[in-house]
Amino acid sequence: MTTFAGKLLRIDLSSSTSKVEKIPEQYFGDFISARGLAAKYLFDELKPDIDPLGPKNKLILSVGVLAGTGLQGFSKWTVTTKSPLTGTIFRSVVGGNFGAWMKHAGYDLIIIQGSAKNLVTVHVDKSGVHFSSAKEFSGIDPRRLQKLLKEKYGRHTESACIGAAGENLVRYASITSGERTASRGGVGTVMGAKNLKAISINVPVKKHIPFDNPRFQELVKQQISILKDHPRKKNMTTMGTPYITTVLDKMGIIPVKNFQEGSIPGIDKISGKKFYDLKMAKAGCYMCMTRCGGMRNVIEGPFGGTQIDGPEYESIYAFGPLLGITDSAFITDANAFCDFYGLDVISTGVSIAFACELFEKGIISASDTNGLDLTWGNKNAIFSLIELIAKMEGIGALLGQGVKRAAEKLGGAAGSYAMEIKGLELAGYDPRGVKGYGLSMATSNIGGSHMYGRPREELSGIVDPFTETDKGLSIAQVQKEQAIDDSLIACTFGNSGLSYEMYVEYLTAATGIKAFESTDNLFKIGERIVCIERCFNVREGFRRKDDSLPKRMTTEPLRKAGPSTGQMIRNLDKLLDEYYEALGYGKNGVPKPGKLKELGLDGAIKNLS
Ligand code: SF4
């Protein structure tokens, strides 16, 4: 008895065939599940240099060993692929119900390979895997499509869908499931390139019996009683992620006007309190009592008159201060507009902010922008830009490639205004005011993600956010921890009051696997996951030069940023040296052979030579 399925479903879109394969038990001990297991498979199965948008790329949907059990906040799932935005390995974490349904269907992983000739949907039920033409669904938004799939296959159907942006190959298209999205890195673009409009599952709910069931049930009860009165949980349930908006403004690290400034007048108009007042109902993921989401009314755009689960902090940042805006209704509407097309809100907002700054600096003019006046805060122009990006028309065809490619195409000084790392547009934290976080973003194996290693102690001021010494070790540690969290999966927002000692207990009672029996082992697994992701990237040609920050971070002191005013990253090299040393990598950013051997990744050495 165990809570993992031990099987994967392999779907080949080129031949419209599928097969079930056994997953070796050792893989769980070495990589846990979800992000870790998917990284192992992607590393083993992808040849270097393949086109992320070609049939040789694979899309791996993966769920955690604890998903579908009574533990709260452990049923999210991940999408792993080679990103068309960064060219690196990528994983995007998503909530909703779909992950639990994968587990109910009997799979820890679904590997989607090849590509269909025409747009298709794939449906999984008790009788097998069914491929259908999706011609009639072309261009349909993901929320409507999910309803149509429920009508077609039954109301308990859970699905993961793309919108028009994925079909049009915008490089940062998302995958939608329920009210949640796997937003980042162009995972929806890969799905679009494979001509897969949706994958759906309708199977009976299955009980997953833990290895030590009585102990596991005690642990579930204990977790529920911890969560009940935990202040962080209460805050997340009431406010959700928007609560952080005013905190970051006060710290001077909320990016304003494409990271030119670090705080904005009128922040109260888009505070956690403001969005709390606009909340119509709670929302959340499968088996999670934190329920950090919130349904809010949409006024304008194709979803006008309906409600969406959002906006989260990152949408508030990307369609608020980043564009010089403090209008809660506009932010909600822009968020809904992106959802309608299946666009990542962060990359969309940063791409628009990039265009606005180029407009401000006179690098582009109305003749380059389909006549749009891209003065900061022009809301109508922003709506038009979202639509142009989703349709890859006019200036949207340039911005839909992401700011890195857009800047390369424009040439000249444009690159100075592209706020990206390894091609991934930055989230809502200015690295100049939280330098360890900056190091984490610079070294992240999926590009400039804020979710690759989150230094909570630095963000809460326990550690000096401005110092540039002694950060390498702690960032290596938080990246290992995030790898464990993403592989269980323990939700970052729903894990209040939990510890790695408790994860050891959960995993051991659930699976009986010896490798999970100590926190030291768990951290070793976290290190292995980060390392295999780095090996993937090294094999693709990534080195130290790619562990970088946008030029602005190392050359321009932060302005109008309260306590962070004047801050910038002065010695990235020193930070990198410390980080590489902490993880046993050489100065070129490549894991040393001894480290690979220690982590049991000797095979990777051969692949890297
Ligand atoms: S805390 Fe929020 S994001 Fe996390 S599992 Fe719960 S509802 Fe989903």
d(CA 430, CA 435): 9
**Claim to verify: residue 136 and residue 263 sit in the same structural domain:** no
Distance of CA 531 to the CA centre of its chain: 19
306 C-alpha vs ligand 1 centroid, how far in Å? 22
pLDDT for position 545: 97
d(CA 363, CA 403): 14
Q: Tell me: the pLDDT tens digits for 353-392?
A: 999 999 999 999 999 999 999 999 999 999 999 999 999 9
Residue 468: C-alpha distances to residues 93, 317, 464, 568 (Å): 30, 26, 9, 10
User: Among residues 425, 450, 471, which one ends one of the domains?
Assistant: 425
Instruction: Sort 562 into a burial class: Cβ within 10 Å, 0-12 / 13-18 / 19+.
Output: middle
**Claim to verify: residue 389 and residue 438 sit in the same structural domain:** no
Q: Please state the rounded mean pLDDT for residues 251-257.
A: 98
Would strands 109-113 and 7-12 be described as parallel, antiparallel, or unpaired? parallel
**Best mutation site among 289, 493, 498 for ligand 1 pocket (most ligand atoms within 8 Å of CB):** 493
Domain of 128, in residue numbers: 7-202
In this predicted structure, the answer to whether residue 605 has a pLDDT above a threshold of 80 is no
Q: Residue 331 domain-assigned?
A: yes
**Best mutation site among 76, 227, 491, 492 for ligand 1 pocket (most ligand atoms within 8 Å of CB):** 491
- Closest residue by Cα to atom 5, ligand 1, is 73
- The CATH code of the domain that includes 510 is 1.10.599.10
74 C-alpha vs ligand 1 centroid, how far in Å? 9
Instruction: Please list the helix, strand and coil fractions of the chain in percent, rounded to the nearest 5, in that order.
Output: 45, 15, 40
Q: Residue 74 domain-assigned?
A: yes
**Claim to verify: residue 21 and residue 93 sit in the same structural domain:** yes
Answer whether 456's CB lies under 8 Å from 244's CB: no
Q: Residue 233 domain-assigned?
A: no
493 C-alpha vs ligand 1 centroid, how far in Å? 6
Considering its fold, how many domains does the chain have in total? 3
**Best mutation site among 290, 291, 485 for ligand 1 pocket (most ligand atoms within 8 Å of CB):** 290
Strand order of the β-sheet with 180-182 is: 128-133, 120-125, 196-202, 158-161, 175-177, 180-182
DSSP state, 476? H
434 C-alpha vs ligand 1 centroid, how far in Å? 25
Q: Please state the rounded mean pLDDT for residues 278-292.
A: 92
Q: Tell me: the pLDDT tens digits for 438-448?
A: 999 999 999 99
d(CA 438, CA 319): 22
- The CATH code of the domain that includes 40 is 3.60.9.10
What pTM value is reported for the model? Answer: 0.97
379 C-alpha vs ligand 1 centroid, how far in Å? 30
Q: Residue 268 domain-assigned?
A: yes
**Claim to verify: residue 381 and residue 449 sit in the same structural domain:** no
d(CA 80, CA 59): 6
3-state DSSP assignment of residue 377: coil
In this predicted structure, the answer to whether residue 171 has a pLDDT above a threshold of 80 is yes
For residue 159, what are the β-bridge partners?
200
494 C-alpha vs ligand 1 centroid, how far in Å? 5
**Claim to verify: residue 474 and residue 376 sit in the same structural domain:** no
Atom of ligand 1 nearest to the CA of 284: 7
**Binding-site residues, ligand 1, Cβ < 6 A:** 73, 76, 95, 284-285, 288, 290-293, 491, 493-494
288 C-alpha vs ligand 1 centroid, how far in Å? 6
For residue 91, what are the β-bridge partners?
80
User: Among residues 425, 447, 465, which one ends one of the domains?
Assistant: 425
- Beta-strand ranges (E) seen in 185-322 are 196-202, 279-283, 293-297, 307-309
- Closest residue by Cα to atom 2, ligand 1, is 292
Residue 395: C-alpha distances to residues 344, 354, 359, 392 (Å): 18, 12, 12, 8
Q: Please state the rounded mean pLDDT for residues 560-573.
A: 97
User: Among residues 425, 451, 467, which one ends one of the domains?
Assistant: 425
pLDDT band (50, 70, 90) for residue 302: confident
**Claim to verify: residue 394 and residue 359 sit in the same structural domain:** yes
- Closest residue by Cα to atom 1, ligand 1, is 494
**Claim to verify: residue 403 and residue 440 sit in the same structural domain:** no
Q: Residue 197 domain-assigned?
A: yes
561 C-alpha vs ligand 1 centroid, how far in Å? 31
Phi-psi region of 87 (alpha: psi -120 to 50; beta: other; left: phi over 0): left
Q: Residue 217 domain-assigned?
A: no
pLDDT band (50, 70, 90) for residue 303: confident
**Best mutation site among 71, 72, 237, 292 for ligand 1 pocket (most ligand atoms within 8 Å of CB):** 292
Q: Is the CA virtual torsion 59, 157, 5, 510 positive or negative?
A: positive
444 C-alpha vs ligand 1 centroid, how far in Å? 23
**Claim to verify: residue 415 and residue 482 sit in the same structural domain:** no
Contacts within 8 Å (CB) and 24+ apart, 148-157: 149/121, 149/123, 149/198, 149/200, 153/123, 153/125, 153/200, 153/202, 154/202, 156/202, 157/123, 157/200, 157/201, 157/202
In this predicted structure, the answer to whether residue 96 has a pLDDT above a threshold of 70 is yes
For residue 366, what are the β-bridge partners?
none
278 CB-near residues (< 8 Å, 6+ apart): 296, 297, 328, 332
**Claim to verify: residue 274 and residue 179 sit in the same structural domain:** no
Biggest alpha carbon–alpha carbon distance for the chain: 69
Atom of ligand 1 nearest to the CA of 291: 7
Q: Please state the rounded mean pLDDT for residues 202-212.
A: 93
Atom of ligand 1 nearest to the CA of 283: 7
**Claim to verify: residue 168 and residue 33 sit in the same structural domain:** yes
Atom of ligand 1 nearest to the CA of 73: 5
- The CATH code of the domain that includes 328 is 1.10.569.10
3-state DSSP assignment of residue 355: helix
Helix count (H) and strand count (E) of the chain? 25, 17
Q: Tell me: the pLDDT tens digits for 220-244?
A: 999 999 999 999 999 999 999 999 9
**Element of type H or E holding 397:** helix 395-399
**Best mutation site among 77, 98, 282, 288 for ligand 1 pocket (most ligand atoms within 8 Å of CB):** 288
**Claim to verify: residue 189 and residue 321 sit in the same structural domain:** no
d(CA 104, CA 207): 8
Answer whether 33's CB lies under 8 Å from 93's CB: no
pLDDT for position 300: 87
285 C-alpha vs ligand 1 centroid, how far in Å? 5
289 C-alpha vs ligand 1 centroid, how far in Å? 8
Which token pair is 468? Answer: 């540039």
3-state per-residue secondary structure call for 408-422: HHHCHHHHHHCCEEC
Atom of ligand 1 nearest to the CA of 236: 1
Share the mean pLDDT of the chain.
96
In this predicted structure, the answer to whether residue 35 has a pLDDT above a threshold of 90 is yes
- In 465-601, where does DSSP find H-type helix? 472-488, 500-511, 519-539, 551-555, 572-583, 593-598
Given the structure tokens 């895997």, which residue do they identify? Answer: 129
Atom of ligand 1 nearest to the CA of 75: 5
3-state per-residue secondary structure call for 37-69: HHHHHHHHHCCCCCCCCCCCCCEEEEECCCCCC
333 C-alpha vs ligand 1 centroid, how far in Å? 22
Q: Is the CA virtual torsion 138, 144, 146, 147 positive or negative?
A: negative
**Claim to verify: residue 416 and residue 439 sit in the same structural domain:** no
d(CA 415, CA 424): 14
3-state DSSP assignment of residue 243: helix
Q: Residue 137 domain-assigned?
A: yes
Q: Residue 320 domain-assigned?
A: yes
